[in-house]
Amino acid sequence: MPRRDVLGYRLPPLPWLGWVSPLLGSVIFAWRGRPFLAGAVDEVKARKPGMMLLISLAISVAFLASWSRTRPGAGGRPQRRRAASMRISAASRAERAASALPEIAAVV
């Protein structure tokens, strides 16, 4: 049951309400990510990649992924069924890898 049903509160159906989260996230990304992004630009110009470049790449990828899922018309919440199937397939791959360990140890 979604939390909004437990609380008994529903947001009013305003057309612009779906843009609040992506716009607020964009402002926070630009404001708090600026030191990392500026440091990454300096590192690229100096041709000496470092932690600022890694951090700026990570926060940029996370921001773009989040923004693409939260903007109106993007499908809303992530699909739980797909995430569950990905966890199951990862678990089965881990089990197969674990079962192959004795064979690998015998070869080595």
Task: Give residue-wise pLDDT tens across range 50-84.
Answer: 999 999 999 999 999 888 887 766 655 545 555 55
Q: Model's pTM, two decimal places?
A: 0.56
Q: What CA–CA distance (Å, rounded) separates 78 from 68?
A: 11
CA angle (48 as vertex; 43, 49 as ends), nearest 5: 70
Return the domain boundaries, the chain. Answer: 15-77, 78-108
- Sign of the C-alpha dihedral, residues 24, 25, 26, 29? positive
- pLDDT at res. 41: 95
Rounded (10°) CA dihedral 36, 71, 66, 90 = -160
- pLDDT at res. 33: 93
Q: Minimal CA–CA distance to 92: which of 84, 81, 104? A: 84
CA angle (78 as vertex; 73, 81 as ends), nearest 5: 130
- The rounded Cα 45 to chain-centroid distance in angstroms is 28
- pLDDT at res. 52: 93
- pLDDT at res. 77: 52
